[in-house]
């Protein structure tokens, strides 16, 4: 019998979205992630670059509002941290490293879940699951960049594919919590669950999905609490 032709990493990136069950089964058998990870990072950098002018404009508007209530020395320090060069460096460095940090955290969570449930799950395979399940999040980033580029800078915070568009304010607990409610993130979490189930060789991903969404809910609540503290500090 002729051996089935192995799919390329590019094909697996597409199939992780269109046919996740079959894709992650193959990823679990061949957990290479470098080509896919580098490609996703480059795309993420490109998305960040597209929205950079609007981010710089938003930072300038914010700076002008804050400096009205500050001393000259404080305003000078803030101007350095929120200037165009600083915004550029911060934006591009974040776009470079955040996907890898995300994949590392996801792999650790999945590895811990596997250990608790007494399942075999090599870290490399779980990391590969994190990489390939990132595709929906990247699609969400692209949608967000399109929204940002077609929105006035002062409304930039609401230009995202999250539930924050339903918030009556642009700060506080509700706005920050809803900013973490991103359908594309949820889509990625579902793919993570499917991928982890394939690695652990379990029929249904219910348990790992519950774990992932509990972790996400904790993160969203912490994000909301941080938003409350930031509002109180202004």
Taking only the tens place, the pLDDT of each residue in 166-182 is 998 888 999 999 999 99
In-domain check, residue 159: yes
Residue 82 placed within a domain: yes
Assigned domain for 5 exists: no
CB 109 within 8 A of CB 130: no
List all residues 6 or more positions away from 134 whose beta carbon is below 8 Å from its beta carbon: 40, 99, 102, 103, 188
> Which of 115 and 81 is assigned the larger pLDDT?
115
Contact 135, 19 (CB under 8 A): no
Range of the domain at 144: 18-233
Residue 138 lies in a domain: yes
What is the pLDDT, as a whole number, of residue 234?
Answer: 52
CA distance 188 to 190: 5
Query: pLDDT digit string (tens) for 8-23?
Result: 999 999 999 999 999 9
211-221: pLDDT as tens digits:
999 999 999 99
Token representation of residue 62: 């914010």
Domain assignment present for residue 68? The answer is yes
Residue 9 lies in a domain: no
Location of structure tokens 């219910």? 206
Domain count, the chain: 1
1, pLDDT greater than 50: no
Calpha distance 185→141 (Å, rounded): 10
Domain assignment present for 3: no
Q: Which two tokens stand for residue 130?
A: 């994190």
pTM, to two decimals: 0.92
Whether 209 is in a domain gets the answer yes
User: What DSSP letter does each residue of 153-180 carry, written as one string?
Assistant: GGGGGG-SSSGGGG-SSSSHHHHHHHHT
């Amino acid at each position: 019998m002729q051996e089935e032709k192995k799919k390329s990493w590019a094909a697996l990136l597409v199939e992780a979205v269109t046919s996740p069950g079959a894709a992650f089964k193959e990823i679990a058998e061949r957990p290479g992630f470098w080509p896919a990870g580098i490609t996703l990072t480059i795309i993420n950098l490109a998305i960040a670059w597209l929205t950079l002018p609007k981010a710089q404009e938003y930072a300038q508007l914010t700076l002008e509002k804050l400096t009205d209530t500050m001393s000259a020395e404080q305003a000078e320090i803030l101007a350095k941290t929120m200037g165009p060069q600083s915004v550029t460096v911060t934006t591009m460095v974040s776009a470079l490293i955040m996907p890898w940090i995300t994949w590392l955290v996801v792999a650790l969570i999945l590895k811990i879940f596997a250990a608790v449930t007494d399942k075999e799950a090599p870290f490399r395979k779980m990391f590969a699951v994190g990489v390939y399940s990132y595709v929906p999040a990247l699609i969400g980033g692209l949608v967000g960049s399109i929204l940002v580029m077609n929105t006035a800078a002062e409304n930039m915070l609401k230009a995202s594919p999250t539930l924050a568009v339903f918030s009556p304010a642009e700060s506080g607990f509700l706005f920050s919590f809803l900013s973490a409610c991103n359908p594309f993130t949820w889509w990625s979490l579902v793919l993570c669950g499917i991928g982890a189930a394939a690695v652990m060789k379990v029929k249904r991903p219910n348990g790992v999905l519950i774990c992932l969404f509990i972790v996400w809910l904790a993160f969203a609540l912490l994000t909301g609490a941080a938003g409350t503290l930031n509002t109180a500090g202004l």
